[in-house]
Amino acid sequence: MKEKNRSIFINILFVISFLTLIRLGFWQLDRADQKNEINQNFIERQSEEEITDQSLINEENLWRKFTLDGEFLNINFFLDNQMYRRNAGYSVFTPFVTSKGLVILVNRGWHPLPELRDEIPFIRNIIGSKTITGILSSIPSHGIILTDQNIELIGTNSVRIQRMDLDEIKNMIEMENLKMIPLVLTLDKPIDQNLVKHLVLPVSNSEKNYGYAFQWFAFAATLLIIFIVLRKKTK
């Protein structure tokens, strides 16, 4: 009787464990499909017709291409520890005042970290009215934070930041009669030769999810083989 109960317990434990592993595998496949859909939408929206109406600068039009007229402000923000092809660097943001009095941070591109921490990448000031084209995107997440101090003045009109805090950025620039948009315009083509376009996918690619799914299915297959072998030995 005890042996029979033990066998039933093992069978139940196997079924629960096996089904859990299978479910985890399909959950990772579902996550991969969701990511693929989001990133595909990201790519497709960039190929749609450019928008020039500044009243449409909102989250509903994320990843759409906008063309704006206006002027750059004479201050640059260097977002620290941004990765590009496994290299650390700065993403360079400059406030842009549109012809309608809106302020949006423009991602001018990525610059590798200089050898010396105190060294400042050269970013030229852009004077006068300009027409720029770029992709509307969300405020980027920060990388590894190296210091408790978020904002650090590193040169004339050059500010190193650890994270994108719009309230702190507003305090660094003259915002009288201006409205800051909590979004970013990433230039379609960098206007600085020493900067590289840095527009990341909304979510990480699905390769890891497929890898995790394979692992869960492999665990399930291994468990099944072990269960079959043990069952044969007990007969």
**Residue in the block written with tokens 């083989």:** 225
Q: For residues 78 and 49, which has the higher predicted lDDT (pLDDT)? A: 78
Residues above pLDDT 90, as percent of the chain: 31
Same domain, yes or no, for 129 and 219? Answer: no
In the prediction, which pLDDT does 205 show?
74
Q: Are 224 and 180 in a shared domain?
A: no
Q: Which of 200, 197, 202, 39 is nearest to 107 (CA)?
A: 197
Q: What is the mean pLDDT of residues 53-58?
A: 91
139: in domain: yes
In a domain, 75, yes or no: yes
**Domain contains 36:** no
Same domain, 83 and 180: yes
Average pLDDT over residues 186-192: 87
Same domain, residue pair 158 and 217: no
By C-alpha distance, which of 171, 175, 188, 85 is closest to 135?
188
Mean pLDDT across 78-89? 87
Q: Give the pLDDT of residue 133.
A: 93
The count of domains in the chain is 2
Residue 226 and residue 134 in one domain: no
* In a shared domain, residues 133 and 50: yes
For residues 107 and 183, membership in a common domain is answered with yes
Lowest model confidence (mean pLDDT) among 20-34, 188-202, 207-221: 188-202
Residues 176-181, mean pLDDT to the nearest whole number: 82
Q: Are residues 216 and 179 in the same domain?
A: no
Mode of pairing for the β-strands spanning 102-112 and 65-72: unpaired
Domain annotation covers residue 135: yes
Both 155 and 92 in one domain: the answer is yes
pLDDT for the residue numbered 147: 63
Q: Per the domain annotation, does 38 fall within a domain?
A: no
List the one residue out of 138, 149, 161, 147 whose CA is nearest residue 92.
Answer: 161
Predicted confidence (pLDDT) per residue in 94-147, tens digit: 999 999 989 999 999 999 888 887 788 888 888 889 999 999 988 876 656 666
Kindly state whether residues 127 and 167 are assigned to the same domain.
yes
Average pLDDT in the chain: 85
Q: What's this model's pTM, rounded to 2 decimal places?
A: 0.74
| 144 in the same domain as 60 | yes
* Residue 33 confidence (pLDDT): 87
Residue 24 lies in a domain: no
Q: Which domain holds residue 232?
A: 207-235
Q: Is the pLDDT of residue 172 over 90?
A: no
